[in-house]
A and B are shown apart, each in its own frame.
Chain A
């Protein structure tokens, strides 16, 4: 291989990217017109950027703009916002736990729920009698309703503030 070919091939990438002086570029192109070997290298070098340009851009995630803006603004979850609603949740949970007589009462409640649900499903498929309707407890329903609202609000806050997947 001639020395001029070595020099030309070393500058082919810059030629394809348009980074050379016009004079140097013209000199390289005149060499390419006469040298089939360097022309083949030039075709190979120029085909990759062309292919990359032809590729479609990947679709950005839906929340990309919001996430970038949030990070640029430096928004993070403060301890008060992170754990504040949890204090209310735990307070409500302790009240409910106290009301149902502690962990044993809670365990009984869950067991009864499972039994009733099983009986209801069995009644649906004609295998058992329907379970008796349990007497509602207004205070417990009220506390659990508040607990549910608080936890949903807390989860919405955490899901919105926490960094999303890229």
Chain B
């Protein structure tokens, strides 16, 4: 049974996310770059709606408003996607992510950040080198996929560690609830104009660093003693 503190925290964070998304798409819209105009489709005409003969009345779903970059639903869908992917990673790789999360301590944050910057630069350098050789160009998607996976695993470990810290403050709760609260905090702070983007970049870099330092949360880190038996 969740304590009321957790329920209030989660509800408050969700409401804050909605308000921030609304403010970003209206009040703070000039702070975001202007997206390209989407190409107009001229050759397609939707077929006329036909009345269903056996249904006396029907409820129509007309979508969630204008679609485009930096709109209200765009902000919310990006946040929801981030939460869904991270929770999926937590469900798929719980042990590895837990091992990585155990490494997150205040004293180790600079090391994680340094490793993250080095990893990001390594990814860029590797991309340029593989592209230059041409023969190894087909490996570029693989490098990017590994980087993306590292990003997700590291970010899941960071929010799991943050959720654990929240549990010491608020009270006992399932680990996934703590991680969800951590994710909502991440989304909320990320929705703050300008500063939120910088915060997300720092978190992404630290996620990369954590995943690399722990070798995706493996048991022995970068020790290869396991190969010796």
Contacts and interface: CB of A to CB of B under 8 A. Distances in A.
Interface of A: 61-63, 66, 77, 82-83, 85-86, 89-90, 92-93, 96, 106, 109-110, 112-114, 116-117, 120-121, 124, 131, 133-134, 136-137, 140-141, 144-145, 147-148, 151-152, 154-156, 158-166
A124 B129 contact: no
Contacts of A109: 128, 131
B218 to A, nearest CB: 8
Most buried by A among B118, B212, B213: B118
Contacts of B225: 62-63
B117 A116 contact: no
Contacts, number: 128
Nearest to B134: A133
B119 A155 contact: yes
A134 B134 contact: yes
Interface of B: 99, 102-103, 108, 110-111, 114-115, 117-119, 121-122, 124-132, 134, 137-138, 140-141, 212-214, 219-223, 225-226
A5 to B, nearest CB: 41
Q: Is the interface of B mostly helix, strand, loop or mixed?
A: helix
12 contacts: A63-B221, A83-B114, A96-B125, A141-B128, A147-B125, A148-B129, A151-B119, A159-B212, A159-B213, A161-B111, A163-B103, A164-B223
Q: Is the interface of A mostly helix, strand, loop or mixed?
A: helix
Given A82-B114, A113-B127, A133-B134, A162 B122 contact: no
A144 B129 contact: yes
A63 B223 contact: yes
Contacts of B138: 117, 120-121, 124
Contacts of B134: 133-134
